Amino acid sequence: MPHPPRARRPRWCLGATAALALTACGAGPASPSADGPPPATPHGYVAGAEELPEPQLQLAYTDAGGSAHALDLLTGETAELGQLGPVDTMATDGRFLFTTSTGTGELTVVDTGTWTVDHGDHVHYYRAPARVVGSMTWSGDVEAASSDTLTALFSPTSGTGVVLDRAALGRGELTELATVESEPHQGALVPLGNDVVATDGTSVRGLDADGRPLPDAEAPCADPRGGHATRVGVVVSCADGAVLVTEADGGVELEQIPYPTPVAEAERASGLDNRPGRPSVAAPAGTRGVWLLDTRARSWQLVPTPTPWVTAVAADDEADRVVGVDTTGQVVVLEPGTGAVTGTGPLLPVDRLTEVDVHVDADRTYVNVPGSTDLLEVDHADGARVARTFSAEVVPAHLAETGR
């Protein structure tokens, strides 16, 4: 009875817009003639970009020497992204890689060529050729985040942030829209629609894309510890809780989400992280367990864990799972409703756990194994089962998941 599946609808091809320009054909009152100069490259044209029916997930990694590769999670095939030179830190926004080198004083941008656009009721998935976009002067580490229109980079080391035009990045151009200066601190610069959320050592502020302060868009935030985008807005970790910034009519709104009780310095939520596009974020709570912040409900929850966690990422799925790495070197999965924790068993070197990058998508979690070429795919909804183990071309010092 099952007839063969018909994939008869052709793949969408954005490249076709190039052909479209030929339609001019001398028809309109003042349109150029068909034998005029060749049409200019259409705005937004991306050579070969295709729209595809599912996320084009890739694992992008580089060793410390900057030998960068991308592993296609659909086919298992690997392609070289480029030789980037020395890499100290790497960040991603789900499409681009941003690597920094203290030695060269530069930040390099790589387009991995796969990304997702969320339209609210549905999502579009794209693939274009990967390429090295270019480099810019940079000091220190980097944190990166993007909205549809903006990309923001922040150096906790220098306190300087840069806002880039994301559409231009997609075209292979580094177009700086604004520079945001503050003192060195563990802050954040995160796009929120067409605005950005910035921190200094004592406050959170909403800025426009040119870096100008938005009216009534400032809230106190003692000693920030990073910020992160959620489905709801942008959240920043502060000494007494969090500041949530949301888009409001013509600007942004800031609100405080205090911790339920005062929290000791060592147990603060630092490095809030989640599966992209979800409302909840998570972070380790010192040695006590895991912080879970639901930015939709505006509530914190501290969930105790049997072992201390080094990293925590909110998968925020039907069981509100949190995925992380614990001090015994396991990939661990917590179900906050029951407190149940499952683990892979020790697979990671316990003396190098801060070098483990954890990336969570709707179905799987990916981690690198420091010192090894192994890249692990963990099914976090199925008892932390290791679904696949990939062998990388080089020993990954930094890992990113793109296409989501």
Partner 1 sequence: MSRLAGGLVTALAAAVVLTGCGAGGGGDRPLVVVTTNILGDVVGELVGDQAEVLTLMPAGADPHSFEVSAREAAQMREADLLVANGLGLEEGVLAQVEAAREDGVVVVEAGDAVQTVEWTTEDDTGVDPHFWTDPAQVRAVVDSVSAAVAEHVDGIDGDRLATDTVAYRTELEDLDAWMVEQLGQVPEPRRNLVTNHHVFGYLADRFGFTVVGAVIPSGSTLASPSARDLDELAGAIRDAGVSTLFADSSQSDRLVQVLAEQAGLDVAVVPLFTESLTPPGGGAETYLQMMRANTEDIVEGLR
Taking CB under 8 A as the rule, which mask of x and - marks residues 10-29 in contact with partner 1? xxxxxxxxxxxxxxxxxxxx
Question: Which of 312, 381, 384, 392 is close enough to bind partner 1 by CB under 8 A?
Answer: 381
**Residue closer to partner 1, measured from CB, 115 or 154:** 115
Q: Which of 165, 223, 247, 363 binds partner 1 (CB under 8 A)?
A: 363
The CA dihedral of 157, 90, 195, 314, to the nearest 10 degrees, is -110
Own/partner long-range contacts of 290-297 (Cβ < 8 Å, ≥24 apart): 290/322, 290/324, 290/334, 290/336, 292/320, 292/322, 292/336, 293/235, 293/242, 293/257, 293/269, 295/230, 295/231, 295/232, 295/233, 295/235, 295/244, 295/257, 296/231, 296/232
Rounded to a whole number of angstroms, the minimum distance from the CB of residue 14 to partner 1 is 7
Closer CB to partner 1, residue 124 or residue 352?
A: 124
Q: Which of residues 105-164 bind partner 1 (CB under 8 A)?
A: 117, 119-122, 124
The span from the CA of 175 to the CA of 165, in Å, is 6
The one among 134, 296, 353, 373 contacting partner 1 by CB under 8 A = 296
Closest by alpha carbon to 236, among 199, 262, 267? 199
Min. distance of Cβ 187 from partner 1 in angstroms?
28
Using the rule CB under 8 A, give the single segment among 42-50, 104-112, 188-196, 329-337 that binds partner 1.
Answer: 42-50
Among 86, 379, 393, 395, contact with partner 1 (rule: CB under 8 A) = 379
Across 151-161, b (16+ Cβ under 10 Å) vs e yields bbbbbbbebbb
* Residue number, 43 or 212, with CB nearest to partner 1: 43
Distance, in Å, from the CA atom of 61 to the CA atom of 65, rounded to the nearest integer, reads 11
Residue type, 216: D
Query: Is residue 158 a contact partner of residue 184, using CB atoms and an 8 Å limit?
Result: yes
Binding mask 303-322 for partner 1 (x = CB under 8 A): ---------------x----
Dump strand ranges (E) for 160-297: 160-165, 176-181, 189-192, 195-199, 203-208, 213-220, 227-229, 234-238, 241-248, 251-258, 280-285, 289-294
Tell me whether residue 379 or residue 393 sits nearer to partner 1 (CB atom). 379
Taking the CA atoms of residue 370, residue 371, residue 377 and residue 383 in that order, the dihedral angle to the nearest 10 degrees is: -60
Amino acid at 24: A
Interface with partner 1 (CB under 8 A), residue from 134, 201, 211, 231: 231
Q: Give the count of residues interacting with partner 1 (CB under 8 A).
A: 73
Residue 352 binds partner 1, judged by CB under 8 A? no
Residues 266-285 that bind partner 1 (CB under 8 A): 279
Nearer of residues 15 and 65 to partner 1, judged by Cβ: 15
Contacts with partner 1 in 43-82 (CB under 8 A)? 43-45, 48, 50-55, 57, 73-76
Among 41, 179, 327, 391, binds partner 1 (CB under 8 A): 41
Nearest CB to partner 1, comparing residues 263 and 314: 314
User: Residue 25: is it exposed, middle or buried by C-beta count within 10 angstroms (0-12/13-18/19+)?
Assistant: exposed
By beta-carbon proximity to partner 1, the closer residue of 185 and 364 is 364
